[in-house]
Amino acid sequence: MGRTLFEKVWNKHIVRQIEDGPVVLYIDKHFIHEVTTPQAFAGLDKKGIKVFRPQNTVATADHNVPTKDQHLPIREALSKHQVDTLIKNCTNHGLELYGLGHPYQGIVHVIGPELGFTLPGMTIVCGDSHTSTHGAFGAIAFGIGTSEVEQVLATQCVLQMKPKTMRISIEGELEKGVTAKDIILYIISKISASGGTGYFVEYAGSAIRSLSMEGRMTICNMSIEMGARGGIIAPDETTFKYIQGRKFAPQGINFDKAVASWKQLATDDDAIFDKELHFDASDIEPMVTFGTNPGMGIKISQNIPDAERLLAQEKENFLKSLQYMGFQPNEPLLGKPVDYVFIGSCTNSRIEDLRAVANLVKGKRKAENVTVWIVPGSKKVELQAREEGIHTILEEAGFELREPGCSACLGMNEDKIPTGKYCISTSNRNFEGRQGPGARTLLASPIMAAAAALTGKITDVRQYF
């Protein structure tokens, strides 16, 4: 029997199989940040252990950092403590840190690929659920807990049960105005926020192959939002072109040798998945969420679903979610006013996202009632946006280009959405209070968010194409 892409990478990294238990899995690259590492480092210090392979560990500050005045001390006491603790721990263990002020600083899942740390065939972990982003390169990448962070720091291995495999194929051509973000929100709306639980998902099909690496990262990033352990896409020429010339990627003849190896990373024709799903790209429209989990999404042309067909418990949760959001069953989202627009996060803060927004808003002005934050995913993205003149277009439109960080994706820093306010966001989670206590989040693509910024209400971006 043939093997899936996931199985090929997984099997190559097994150090030992524990009888009737997990495997000891070798980890090629460990990304760390300030939120999930303090207890892990404290555990190492208590045991008198140093980081086993510092060269395999990449550290940055992203969750707690402010996105304005990064040259000044962090104002929030807890955020400052978290970042200071990371600095101390990296110094004590000889780890290079891309902290505030460093030209490589940024969101961990943005800097990994753009610097060439993320490569096909790798195993990658981070104490962050959206580590699945790196699967876009044909890597096995998944989030781990703090105790597992300690395991990897100490041994460069982690204990893991092998997940089941699922393949989701999207065939056909996407309509103008439909992006990778719409694909993944569409999938999650179809299978629910728990539809991928227990699986590692391979994304395939012509619609997936047509995406840029940035788009593929968006897809894999939100795998966790359907409950999956991670997502993976087979590497191809698009992948190799993206990697070539990156700072820490193989160079010269070593790159050529690596590509020859990476070309073997594909699912065999006779491989069998535990589950397969198929969708038609022509059925996908611009998407927007209406509830308090990413599975509660609809096409922009649709109304919020009726609750009558739901089971009692599902109905109760559904109506509770709508009450929090201030919506009613059967009503459209189109035309609903918004207060804030947030374009950023590890899902959609790359240069391609900023370019798409700039192209849409060039020569236009935002609605007076809307506050717009554009938060680049890294210092490199910020610099590139300024070099390309994107910052001028955004500023002339009334958008605020800020400094890199996780920002309003989560209420863990100074960028919070006020209670009761609606924010159309390019991030990945719309849980109650995710963007701040009482904040109401609607997930959408960067161009859908930009369209809402221009009109002050939820808008079908296709009207601009």
Q: Given pLDDT bands bounded at 50, 70 and 90, which one contains residue 309?
A: confident
pLDDT tens digits along 36-76: 999 999 999 999 999 999 999 999 999 999 999 999 999 99
Q: Does the structure show a pLDDT above 90 at 308?
A: no
Q: Residue 171 has which token pair?
A: 């065939």
Classify the C-alpha dihedral 339-341-345-348 as positive or negative.
positive
Residue 311: predicted pLDDT:
81
pLDDT tens digit sequence for 234-273: 999 999 999 999 999 999 999 999 999 999 999 999 999 9
What does the pLDDT read at residue 255?
A: 98
Contact 183, 44 (CB under 8 A): no
Predicted local confidence at residue 434, as pLDDT: 97
Secondary structure (3-state) at 203: strand
**Bridge partner list, 158:** 25
Rounded to an integer, what distance in angstroms lies between the CA atom of residue 459 and that of residue 361? 14
Look at residue 283 in the predicted model and tell me its pLDDT. Answer: 98
Interatomic CA distance for residues 178 and 186, integer angstroms: 11
Taking the C-alpha atoms of residue 435 and residue 429, their distance in angstroms, rounded to an integer, is: 9
Q: What is the mean pLDDT of residues 93-119?
A: 98
Type of residue at 32: I
With b meaning 16 or more CB within 10 Å and e meaning fewer, what string describes 214-237? bbbbbbbbbbbbbbbbbbbbbbbe
Q: Which of 346, 293, 344, 294 minimizes the C-alpha distance to 131?
A: 346
Q: Is 180 helix (H, G, I), strand (E, B) or coil?
A: helix
Alpha helices of 176-236 — where are they, by DSSP H?
Answer: 180-191, 206-209, 213-221
pTM of this structure: 0.97
Dihedral over Cα of 271, 276, 278, 284: its sign:
negative
Given this model, what pLDDT does residue 313 score?
84
Q: Which residues pair with 199 in a beta bridge?
A: 164
Name residues whose C-beta falls within 8 Å of residue 452's C-beta, 6 or more positions apart in sequence. Answer: 338, 341, 370, 424, 444, 458, 459
| Whether 6 contacts 142, CB under 8 Å | no
Distance between CA atoms of residues 461 and 465, nearest Å: 8
Dist CA 248 CA 113 (whole Å): 10
Are 294 and 443 in contact, with CB atoms under 8 Å apart?
Answer: yes
Judge whether 373 and 401 are in contact, CB under 8 Å.
Answer: no
When pLDDT is averaged across residues 405-414 and rounded to a whole number, the result is 94
pLDDT of residue 312: 82
Please give the Cα distance from 444 to 345 (Å, whole number). Answer: 12
- Cα(411)–Cα(221) distance, integer angstroms: 19
The tens digit of pLDDT for each residue in 202-237 reads: 999 999 999 999 999 999 999 999 999 999 999 999
Asked if residue 107 lies in contact with residue 99, where contact means CB atoms within 8 angstroms, the answer is no
Closest to 69 in 3D by CA, of 454, 371, 400:
400
CB half-sphere exposure, 368, CA atoms < 13 A:
0
Mean of all residue pLDDT scores within the chain? 97
- The answer on pLDDT for 307 being more than 90 is no
Mean pLDDT of 176-186: 98
Residue 2 Cα distances to 213, 264, 272, 273, angstroms? 27, 13, 7, 10
Average pLDDT estimate for 178-206: 98
CA angle 303, 306, 307 (to 5 degrees): 145
Residue range 433-453: average pLDDT?
98
- Measure Cα distances from 173 to 136, 168, 176 in Å: 20, 16, 9
Q: Is residue 310's pLDDT more than 90? A: no
